Amino acid sequence: MSAWTRRAPSTSARRRSFSSSRQGRDRVASTLEQWKREAAAKKRKALKAEQEKMDVEAKYCVGSECDLYVKKFCTRENLDSREANELTKFVNFAKRQGLVRVPVSDARTLCRVWKERRQ
């Protein structure tokens, strides 16, 4: 047989080539599925974080009056006890007005959450 004539591949060679290409396709498909799963998980995680942030905001401060008053105190580095008491009094008043939903003893937490929200 001369070097120029080419034989058709044997059945076993065809089978090998078919199975290797099939394995390659399967591998690509499984990688794509994995990427889709990872992207969906990342999206779920981001949505959950956003929802938690909104829940915290709704829990601690609602309305512009609340925001302005809290800003007055929370822009300072540390609240002393007098300022914390005054903020707690405001929180009590605002709760009656429906502006704030926060436990009475939580003036410092209110400031911490307010600062986190502003960043």
Domain ranges of the chain: 19-118
List pLDDT tens digits, range 66-76: 666 666 667 66
**Both structure tokens of 44:** 């779920």
Tokens of 89: 């009094």
- Residue 39's pLDDT is 93
Over 50: is that where the pLDDT of 21 sits?
yes
Q: H-helix or E-strand containing 34? A: helix 11-60
pTM (predicted TM-score): 0.33
The model's pLDDT over 74-101, given as tens digits with 9 standing for 90+, comes to 766 666 677 667 776 776 666 666 666 5
Q: What share of the chain is helix, strand, coil (3-state, %, to 5)?
A: 75, 0, 25
Please, what is the end-to-end C-alpha distance for the chain in angstroms? 79
* pLDDT for the residue numbered 104: 45
